[in-house]
Structure 1
Amino acid sequence: MDNNERTKDNEKAKMDLKEYCRRSDLHLQQNADGRWIKPKAKFTLNDDQKKDVCEWVHELKMPDGYASNFGKCVDKKHLKLFGMKSHDCHIFMQCLIPVAFSALPKPIWKPLTELSLFFKDLCSIVLKEDHLRQMEKNIPLILCKLQRIFPPGLFDSMEHLMIHLPYETRVCGPIQYRWMYPFERFLNKIKKTIKNKSRVEGSICQAYLAQEISYFAFHDFESHVLSSNNRVDRNDDLIKKNATQPTLSVFNLSGRSYGKKKGNIRWLDDKEVVAAQLHVLINCDEVKPFLNLYEKAWRDTYNDLTYDIIDKQIEADFPRWFKEYVNSNPQEISQDSYLQILVMGPLRQARSWSVYFANGYKFHTASCGEGKSTYNSGVCVSGTGQDGTISEFYGVLKEII
């Protein structure tokens, strides 16, 4: 956005706010008894709106390990939030403000949303210098919009600090390497080691020395001895690669199931068998040369094929073509190759689980997570669009096979 467009947008926001204040009748009112009543500010929520926000936060589910259970921080009796940790406030400010305060009038809701997006962009993993320079220009305007809404007592040195954050990020780097969460957790851990409150510093030093001695002593133990050094992660996926019996790359991925040892056994229908076979062939590195050969043959035959047409042709005909090619060209396929077994397709008998660990994350199906306080059934898959650009497709896990 250039300077002219930004100026027009700011002027429009000012006019909208002035018109809103003119129509909202923000002045003292006199009732029938002759008493003067001070109306509530327009940025406050009534009891029904507060109740809706509290119920929404109480039923809100976050991914496992992303935030605390917000349902425990809701007081439905007094219609307020309490006991939120600093990280929970951070998540609420970045992601939940635009939804929680959507009942407010647009001239008030819009600056709050811009402030929420400002912090969300500031805490991103990838930052660009030109984007940070634009944020330096936008944050004073956002604060000016907020000063037109909220009382002057709200704005102190902490609110003014936001003006300097983009410049600090541009000079020092991403915020993830400089914020205080690791140190706050470390201080909380240290406070728990205090046994003698009259000698606080002595208790902390003795506990810290004992931990350091134990940490270095564990280096002399055997690898099978469990300690803080080789502790298994909470979402460990048990990466085991069998070097004596190599398999195809698509079957050598890390991951482990949870629950029943053998899972729920069921039979796949014809549509599911075709989908499973196509998924394995497309995602197997050993099959990629044959997939490229099939795609090249179609492009040589038809020059004006689009990505969408090629993808549909691969879904419809590639498994059959791959089977015929492997059977008719045995000289290109070694006798002990797993490709000869791969063309036979999957078994119809399959096992399904409700919980699965993969890539350091915990996934469960939507039905399994109905009674849980976390939501781990959402998945995101990267794919290539018709114009060759990479897009992200979102979905919900119904079953893990």
Structure 2
Amino acid sequence: MRTGDHVLAMVNDLHVIFGKGPGGLAVPNDVEGHAPMWKKKSIFWDLPYWKELEVRSSIDVMHVTKNLCVNLLGFLGVYGKTKDTPEAREDLQRLHEKDGMPPKQYEGPASYALTKEEKEIFFECLLSMKVPTGFSSNIKGIINMPEKKFQNLKSHDCHVIMTQLLPVALRGLLPENVRLAIVKLCAFLNAISQKVIDPEIIPRLRSDVAQCLVSFELVFPPSFFNFMTHVLVHLVDEIVILGPVFLHNMFPFERFMGVLKKYVRNRARPEGSISMGHQTVDVIGFCVDFIPGLKKIGLPKSRYEGRLTGKGTLGGGNSIICRDGYSWSEAHYTVLQNSTLVTPYVDEHKNSLRSKHPEQCDDWITCEHIRTFSSWLETRLRGDTTVCDELYSLSRGPSSTVLTYKGYEINGNTFYTIAQDQKSTNQNSGVRFDAATERGNDTYYGYIMDIWELDYGHDFKVPSFKCKWVNLSGGGVQVDPQYGITTVDLNNLGYTDEPFVLANDVAQVIYVKDMSTRPWKRKDKEANTSYDEPKRHIVLSGKRDIVGVEGKTDMSEDYEKFHEIPPFKVKADPSILINDEDYPWLRRNKQMTQAKKK
């Protein structure tokens, strides 16, 4: 790697007069006839510390991801004009001329291009996707179903496609070795996009991106490899120096440019308009923050208020009298079970049961504890003036009048009931609950049926979700050993005796159809029936949205409360698998299987 002193010495004596008119002076080629690496000396070299910087110009990961996405989708045949042209095949032939391969080995369907049937499945999967509020743009708006093409892709759309959606949509499509290389690249981009990157995985990330590029060289024609593909190998070294990608990404700057553009009132003087608009906002902010007793007039209440602590959004907080005493008791017990104030009394009650029923087993003690604990706690603390108000309110139990909602915002997430989800363009009903059990930590997946807000009096309300949970055993939850993808069977439900969970303790997930588990169509079955639906769904993590919440950033302590589950993880080296094939750039069916290299 060149040092700052070395680069400064290369540009220090450059003298260029730009232009083709009289006096124009170009930079001459070197002694070997190569074009010069630099054509001018940047003014930044006048800064005394510039040559000491390890990174003087960071890589724009946002636009690298966008250009890489558009390039890859073009070769898959789902964006713009096809890149699988005769010229590309000729380039591939010239690349392998030294291997003495006959010209016919460069003819035929490409292994990296989706077939017509695969495009049907690919876009059917994308069309069925519904993402949470604030996750991305509506997927239906960026796909053209009649032409089976992507359209109107923005930078963030490309980021979501490459880090989340593409491996899911490609599930079961393309030859396995080609698909493995693409998924590994997406897993690499997902890993470097995280808020926290473990330094111990840096060597693995370097190896992963190298394996991906080697695999692509064996499959794609030379036209696939442009400058944007090359700079991927430098991203990890840059992360070691500058930190995670989000610290030096272009997204915040692009958003702020959108804010500045709105200040323009006089199009003939855009710079002055931006300056005056920014100055006006600063003055108003100063007045609001530092003038005591200032009351806002005509300004609406911030819609972000309560997004972290919890507030109902849809349904209007309808009050209903809970006539289902069993569900009411389950919800109340869930609140008691998760309260640190109540924890000391749990052991006391269990010990009391064991002393009264020494002949009973632990399972019977647990069931009896769940059934009688709330009434025992109320009797135990009745008349006790030493306990705090919150504990005393918990012991008395909530009101039988329950507030119900169709939507609820808490921890920066927007949650819906499954009934509301079916009417919405978003999917906000999927939840994940991490529980500590005797076997260790278990992760439960489910979806919300009802949203309750229990009223314990004195402005003390506890939101809870009534959910249906997927069985952890019996094929309910599985992890793909090759891709690390978690899949669930939403019809394999269990744990009906524990439906409630505190709204503050769940993370949001997305369920996407796993098209590889869809049954083969039969002639005696009609299309678009439940028979054609995939048997399993892929689990992806949702995204918390705290933009606009006062005093909170995405580095706040409570922001990292839930650990995101990696959507996919590939341990195998796809370049080794692809190198075992004679013609990895061609798609071979069973009748055209070629002998493997020995």
- The two structures share one fold, judged by TM-score above 0.5: yes
- 2:437 is aligned to 385
Rate the CA distance shift 1:227–1:65 in 2: closer, same or farther, 3 A. Answer: farther
CA contact (8 A) 1:136 1:163 kept: yes
1:44 paired to 2:113: yes
1:225 paired to 2:296: yes
Deviations 1:1-59 (A, max 9, x none): xxxxxxxxxxxxxxxxxxxxxxxx99649xxxxxxx95332211123322332333233
- 2:449 is aligned to 398
Deviations 1:135-178 (A, max 9, x none): 11222122101111111111122112111212222222222222
What is the aligned counterpart of 2:405 among 337, 346, 353? Answer: 353
Deviations 1:315-372 (A, max 9, x none): 5424525634663676866499665664454454433221122233321101112122
* TM-score, scaled relative to structure 2: 0.52
Size of the alignment, in residue pairs? 349
Give the stretch that moved more between structures: 38-47 or 194-203.
Answer: 194-203
- 2:457 is aligned to none
CA contact (8 A) 2:409 2:415 kept: yes
Q: Percent identity?
A: 23
Separation in structure 2 between the aligned mates of residue 26 and residue 320 of structure 1, nearest angstrom = 81
Give the stretch that moved more between structures: 53-62 or 289-298.
Answer: 289-298
Alignment of 1:170-319 (within 5 A): 170-219=240-289, 220=291, 222-225=293-296, 232-234=302-304, 236-237=305-306, 254-263=309-318, 265-294=320-349, 313-314=365-366, 316-318=368-370
SS of alignment partner, residue 285 of structure 1: coil
SS of alignment partner, residue 433 of structure 2: strand
Separation in structure 1 between the aligned mates of residue 183 and residue 283 of structure 2, nearest angstrom = 50
CA contact (8 A) 1:139 1:163 kept: yes
SS of alignment partner, residue 159 of structure 1: helix
Structure 1 residue 87: deviation in Å? Answer: 1.2
Separation in structure 2 between the aligned mates of residue 133 and residue 226 of structure 1, nearest angstrom = 56
CA contact (8 A) 1:28 1:38 kept: yes
CA contact (8 A) 2:265 2:273 kept: yes
Structure 1: gaps (5+ residues): 1-24, 30-36, 240-253
Rate the CA distance shift 1:202–1:238 in 2: closer, same or farther, 3 A. Answer: closer
- 1:60 is aligned to 129
Separation in structure 1 between the aligned mates of residue 407 and residue 253 of structure 2, nearest angstrom = 33
- 2:581 is aligned to none
What is the aligned counterpart of 1:83 among 139, 152, 157? Answer: 152
Amino acid at match of 2:180: K
Which is helix-richer, 1 or 2?
1
Amino acid at match of 1:61: K
CA contact (8 A) 2:133 2:427 kept: yes
Amino acid at match of 2:296: V
Q: Which has the bigger relative contact order, CA under 8 A and spacing at least 6?
A: 2
- 1:10 is aligned to none
Rate the CA distance shift 1:41–1:272 in 2: closer, same or farther, 3 A. Answer: same
Rate the CA distance shift 1:386–1:163 in 2: closer, same or farther, 3 A. Answer: same
Give the stretch that moved more between structures: 278-287 or 85-94.
Answer: 278-287
Rate the CA distance shift 1:26–1:105 in 2: closer, same or farther, 3 A. Answer: farther
Give the stretch that moved more between structures: 367-376 or 166-175.
Answer: 166-175
SS of alignment partner, residue 39 of structure 1: coil
Separation in structure 2 between the aligned mates of residue 341 and residue 202 of structure 1, nearest angstrom = 59
CA contact (8 A) 1:294 1:318 kept: no
CA contact (8 A) 1:357 1:363 kept: yes
Structure 2: gaps (5+ residues): 1-100, 453-598
Amino acid at match of 1:51: E
What is the aligned counterpart of 1:95 among 160, 164, 170? Answer: 164
1:151 paired to 2:221: yes
* TM-score, scaled relative to structure 1: 0.75
1:117 paired to 2:169: no
Taking only aligned residues, the RMSD between alpha carbons, in angstroms, comes to 3.6
SS of alignment partner, residue 66 of structure 1: coil
Separation in structure 1 between the aligned mates of residue 354 and residue 245 of structure 2, nearest angstrom = 48
